[in-house]
Amino acid sequence: MKKITPQTLYDFRFVSAPSISPDGTMTAFVVSRADGETNGYKGDIWLLDNASGAVRQATQGGDGRSFIWTAEGTILFPCQRDPEAKKRADAGEPVTVWYELDPKGGEAAPAFQVPARVTAIQRLEDGRYICLYSHDKRYDALEGLTGPDRDRALKDIADPAYYVLEDCPFWFNGMHITSGKRDRLAILDPAAGTIEPITGTDFYCHGFDVSGGLVAYTGSPDANVNNKPSGVYVYDLATGQTRCLLAPDTMRGDLLGIWGDKLLMALTDGALPVADGSGMTYGDDQYCDLYTIDIASGALEKLAAYEASLGHGSVGSDARLGGGRGAKADGDLFYFLTTVGDSTYLRTVDRAGHISGDLTPGGSCDSFDVQDGKVVYCGLYGPDLCELYDGAGNRLTHFSRTEEYDYSAPEMHVFTNRDGYDIHGWALMPAGYQPGKKYPAILNIHGGPRTVFGDVFHHEMQVWAGAGYFVLYCNPRGSDGRGNDFGFISGKYGTIDYEDVMAFTDEMLAKYPDIDPARVGVTGGSYGGFMTNWIIGHTDRFAAAASQRSIANWTTFEYTTDIGLHFAATQMRATTDTDVEKMWSHSPLKYAKNCTTPTLFIHSDNDFRCWMSEGLAMFTALKKAGAETKLCLFRGENHELSRSGKPKNRISRMEEILAWMDKYCK
C-alpha cells in the first residue's frame, strides 16, 4: 500500500455542492483537485443520473467551481473564458461572465455578463436573478471617465500607492482590505446585462433567500464596526418595497430560509451574564433556537429550543474543498445541518417544531440538496474523502481512492474529567506499529474553539501516523456539539480547557504504554495555536511544539484582527478598556518567558483573523527567553492555509511541521 505523504494532496479529488435539477432527474456537483502546474485548484461540474446512478463529467476546463440550475434545466456557471472580458478583469474592471451548459451534451456557450463581481446568485421565476455582489466605493469615481483617464484610475484602484481606511473592521480574512466595500443585493437582468441594487451603498448584506416573488435577506445598515446583530428584511419584487421584519441589534442569528409564508431563523437573545451570576446566559456563545417570522405580520415566534449549530457543520478536516447548501425548505419540512456530539448530521424540523432524528450517519454531512423528499448529500466518512450519498445512505460516487493507502483508523476513547464531564478523543496508531516498541506522539488541538474533531479523514494527521507517530486529539470543553454548558469557556481560556487537554494526554499515555512520554509533541491552529502557546508557557512536558495561526495577546488581537473587537470581548468577558489585567492574564505572551520547549511558529502574512503580529510576538519572546524557535511566514496566504492555501504552500507547511517534530521527537 502507498504511504500517505504531504504530496498525496495531488491525488485527492474533492466532491462538493450537490444540486438537484428542476425536473429531479439529475444531480450536478463539483469535483475539485489541487493542480501542481498552476499551484492552485481546478474544479469541474459533474452530473449524476438519479435513476441509473451513472456519473459523467460535464465541464473540462477546470473552471467550473460553482453553478446554478436554470428553470429550463440548463446549468449556468461563472468563468473567465472570454478573452476581452478577461482583459478587462485583469485591468481591474469588475466583471462576471456566465456560461450556459446543456446537461444532455455539447459545449458550454456564453450566456451573459454584468459589470460587477458577483459572489452568489439565485434565479427568479421571470428569467431574472437575485445576486450578491461586491461593491467597492472607489469605483464610483470611474463614472464618466473614458480612455486613458479611466485606465489610469483603474490602475490606481488595482495597485494603490496607499490604502485609505475608514471602516472598522478595515480588512477581513480572505478578502484583504474591505474598508469602503459592501456586499450588496441586486436584481440581475441577463437580457440587458445589468444589475439593479436593492440595498444601499452603506448596507452590508450577509445572506439571502428567494421564493414566491419575495427576497428575504439579513444585513447591517451601517457596516462600520460591523459586529452587531443583523436586521432581517423582505423585498417584494412586484412592488419594489422593502420591509424590516426584525430590527438590527435585536437578536443574534442567521436566516435559514423562506418557508412558505414564514421565514425560518436561527436566533438567540443571549446576553452577557450579570456580575452576580443571576439570570446567567451564555452571551454570544449561546446556541441559537429555531424561530419563525410571519412575513405578512412580522410576528416572531419560537418554534423549537435547540442547543447545537443550525445550518452548518463544524467537524474539522483538511481533506475537503468547496461549499454547498446547509439549509433548505421542502414542503412541510425544513432540512438543516447540525453538529451534535462529534458529528455533523442532516435533520429536519416540521411546522409544529418537532425535530427529527439524524438522517445521516456519524461523520460529517457537509452539504445537501432535497427535492420532494428525495435527498442527495455530500458526506465525509471513515477513510474516504467526501462522496455523494442518497437519503438511504447509499454511496453514489467513488472518487476517493484511499483504499490504496496505508490508512490508520481512529480509535475512540472517552474519559470523565475531574469536573464530571465526558471528554471524547481519538488515537491513530503509527504505521507498521509493533507492540512493545517505543514511539513518539503528536497531540493535535483543534481550532474554534467551537468546532470538533471526529473520526473523519484528516490528511496531515494521517501523514504523521505514516511517519511513525501516535496521533492524539480530543474535544475539550469549549468544543461544539455538546450544548451550552459544555461549550462555554468565555473568560476561562487556558483554565478548564487546558486541564481537559492535559488530562486527555495523561489518559492516552496510560492507555498506550508504547508512547514514549519524553517524545511527545504538541500542535494546533487558531484556537489550537492559542492553546499551544499557552501550553509552552505553563509546562515543559512536551518535547516540541508547532503553533499555527495563533493568538498570543488578547489586547493586540482585539484591535488588529477582522473579528477582534467582537471576538475578544465575548471570549474574554472583558476588553482592554474594561479589564486589561484580565485580558493580559489570559494571554500566552505573558507566560512566554517560562518557555523551554523548542517551538515552531507557522503564520501567514494575509491572515487577518489571527494577524501575524501574534506569531511574531511569540517568536521574539521565545528568542528573548533563550528557547529554540523558528518562524515560517507564508506569503500571500491567509487563515485557511492548511485547508485551501496554495497546494505547494500547504505541502511545505506539512513538511516544516513534520521536520520540526522529527528533529526533537525522534
- pLDDT tens-digit map of 628-639: 999 999 999 999
Beta strands in 137-272 (DSSP E): 171-172, 176-177, 181-189, 194-197, 204-211, 214-220, 231-236, 242-246, 252-259, 262-268
> Average pLDDT of 463-486?
98
CB-CB contact of 103 with 26 (8 Å): yes
User: What pLDDT is recorded for position 274?
Assistant: 39
Q: What 3-state class would DSSP assign to 185?
A: strand
Q: What's the whole-number mean pLDDT along residues 270-299?
A: 76
Q: Which pLDDT score is estimated for 403?
A: 82
pLDDT given for residue 283 in this prediction? 79
Question: DSSP for 60-127?
Answer: -SSB----EE-TTS-EEEE----HHHHHHHHTT---EEEEEE-TTSS--EEEEEESSEEEEEEE-TTS
What residues pair up with 302 in beta bridges, in sequence order? 291
Q: What is the pLDDT of residue 226?
A: 58
What is the arithmetic mean of pLDDT over 104-118? 94
Percentage of the chain surpassing pLDDT 90? Answer: 92
Residue 273 reports pLDDT greater than 90: no
According to the model, what pLDDT value does residue 470 have? 98
Residue 175 in contact with residue 184, Cβ under 8 Å?
no
- Provide the residue type at 214 as one letter: L
Q: What amino acid is encoded at 193 in this protein?
A: G
Side-chain-facing half-sphere of 230: CA atoms under 13 Å: 18
> CA-CA distance, 524 to 532, in Å (whole number)?
6
pLDDT at residue 489 is higher than 60? yes
Cα dihedral angle (588, 594, 596, 599), rounded to 10 degrees?
A: 20
Question: For position 279, what pLDDT does the model report?
Answer: 45
Q: What is the pLDDT of residues 364-400, one digit of tens each?
A: 999 999 999 999 999 999 999 999 999 999 999 999 9
User: Residue 285's pLDDT is what?
Assistant: 86
Is the pLDDT assigned to residue 491 strictly greater than 60?
yes
341 touches 481 (CB < 8 A): yes
DSSP H helical ranges for 386-470 = 459-466
* 3-class SS string, 251-312: CEEEEEEEECCEEEEEEECCCCCCCCCCCCCCHHHCCCEEEEEECCCCCEEEEECCCCCCCC
Q: Under a CB-based contact definition with an 8 Å cutoff, are residues 214 and 258 in contact?
A: yes
> How far is Cα 36 from Cα 39, in angstroms, rounded to an integer?
5
Confidence of residue 465 (pLDDT cuts 50, 70, 90): very high
How far does CA 564 lie from the centroid of its chain? 17
Least confident interval from 45-49, 174-178, 313-317, 506-510:
174-178
* Residue 259: pLDDT over 50: yes
Q: What average pLDDT score do residues 234-241 get? A: 97
Per-residue pLDDT at 277: 44
558 pLDDT more than 50? yes
Q: What is the pLDDT of residues 328-351, one digit of tens each?
A: 999 999 999 999 999 999 999 999
Q: How confident is the model at residue 278 (pLDDT cuts 50, 70, 90)?
A: very low
Tens digits of per-residue pLDDT, 178-224? 999 999 999 999 999 999 999 999 999 999 999 999 999 999 987 66
| 30 vs 118: CA distance, rounded Å | 19
Give the residues across from 428 on adjacent strands. Answer: 471
Q: What is the mean pLDDT of residues 527-538?
A: 98
pLDDT above 70 as % of the chain: 98
The gap between the terminal CA atoms of the chain, to the nearest Å, is 24
The per-residue pLDDT for range 568-596, each reduced to its tens digit, is: 999 999 999 999 999 999 999 999 999 99
> What pLDDT sits at residue 224?
62
Q: Which CATH number fits domain 412-420+433-443+488-665: 1.10.3720.10, 3.40.50.1820, 3.30.70.20, 2.60.15.10?
A: 3.40.50.1820
Question: Is pLDDT of 284 > 90?
Answer: no
Sequence spans of domains, the chain? 412-420+433-443+488-665
Q: What was the pLDDT predicted at 610? A: 98
| Whether the Cβ atoms of residue 165 and residue 224 lie closer than 8 Å to each other | no
- Whether the pLDDT of residue 28 is over 60: the answer is yes
pLDDT one-digit tens code per residue, 288-334: 999 999 999 999 999 999 999 999 999 999 999 999 999 999 999 99
Strand order in the sheet with 231-236: 204-211, 214-220, 231-236, 242-246
Instruction: Compute the average pLDDT of residues 4-15.
Output: 97
Compute the mean pLDDT over every residue in the chain, rounded to the nearest whole number: 95
| Contact (Cβ atoms closer than 8 angstroms) between residue 195 and residue 186 | yes
pTM: 0.96
Under the banding of pLDDT at 50, 70 and 90, the label for residue 225 is low
Bridge-based pairing state of the strands 439-445 and 515-525: parallel
- 118-149: per-residue pLDDT in tens? 999 999 989 999 999 999 999 999 989 999 99
